[in-house]
Every structure is written in structure tokens, then in C-alpha cells.
Amino acid sequence: MVLQSLSGLPAFLIYFVVAAVLVAAYLYVYTWITAHDEFALLRANNTAAAISLGLSMIGFVLPLTSSIGHADNVIDMAIWGVIALVVQVAVYYAARFAVPNLSPRIEAGEVAPAVWLGAASVAAGMLNAASMGT
């Protein structure tokens, strides 16, 4: 009985590791393209940076989890993960278009623009995730 329950463990590990690598890649790309240094701001206890980056990561992980559930294989999941990354990068630039001084305001610790960026990221991630199931 226990061995039968563990029969899916290899697939779980493969999907989990690939997803973790995709999350790390997302964080690398996202923090590279943003006009502010999120991790330096986090180390300085900047709440606005924590909100925007944390919600952005959730906005990426939502469609990634959907791709795990809908993908035919791990390559398919990874392709959809890359698409989710591209969507989140586009959301960042769209949010900056709506609030041109977004990064300086997050650097200054202003919470409102951080919540705006984070909410836009989560909304896009939810739409992205739902669209993958069609």
C-alpha cells in the first residue's frame, strides 16, 4: 500500500525541481528588469519592495501550478512556465506605464504603488492560469 502511494514520487520530484528552477529563473529575470533592486530593498526592510516582489512571485507561481496540472509532460510545463514569466514581465512594464515613477516610489517605501504592482501581477497570473486550462 505504501509503495503504491510512493509510485508517483519520481514524477513529483521532477516537476517540483523544474518548477523550483523556474521560480528561481523568474526571480532572477524579474529583479534584473526592474528599475529597483528588490533584494537590497528587502535587506533594508523595505515593506513596499516585499509586497511587490512577493505578490509578483505569486502571480508567476499561479500559472506555473496550473501548468503542472495541465501539462502533458515536464517539457510542456516548462514551456508554459516561460510563457508565465513573459506575461509577468509585460505586467511590470504595463504597471510602470500606468504609474511612471513606480520604482522610485517603491524604493521610497510607498506601499500604494507596491500594492498596485502586486495586485496587477496576481490578477495577470490568475488570468494566465485560467487560460491554460482551456
Task: Dump pLDDT digits (tens) for 6-45.
Answer: 888 889 999 999 999 999 999 999 999 998 999 999 999 9
What percent of the chain clears pLDDT 70, i.e. is strictly above it?
96
Whether 134 has a pLDDT exceeding 70, the answer reads no
Residue 17 placed within a domain: yes
Q: Which residues of 63-98 are buried (b: 16+ CB within 10 A; e: fewer)?
A: bbebbbeebeebeebbebbebbbebbbebbeebbee
Q: How many domains does the chain have?
A: 1
Residue-number span of the structural domain to which 42 is assigned: 9-132
Whether 1 has a pLDDT exceeding 80, the answer reads no
Q: Quickly state the pLDDT bin for 79 (edges 50, 70, 90).
A: very high
Q: What is the pLDDT of residue 57?
A: 98
Q: What is the pLDDT of residue 7?
A: 81
Question: Grid coordinates standing for 83?
Answer: 510563457
Query: Which among 4-8, 71-75, 84-88 has the top mean pLDDT?
Result: 84-88
The arithmetic mean of pLDDT across residues 51-73, rounded, is 95
The radius of gyration of the chain from alpha carbons, rounded to an integer in Å, stands at 17
Residue 4 placed within a domain: no
CA-based nearest residue to 119, from 91, 78, 87: 91
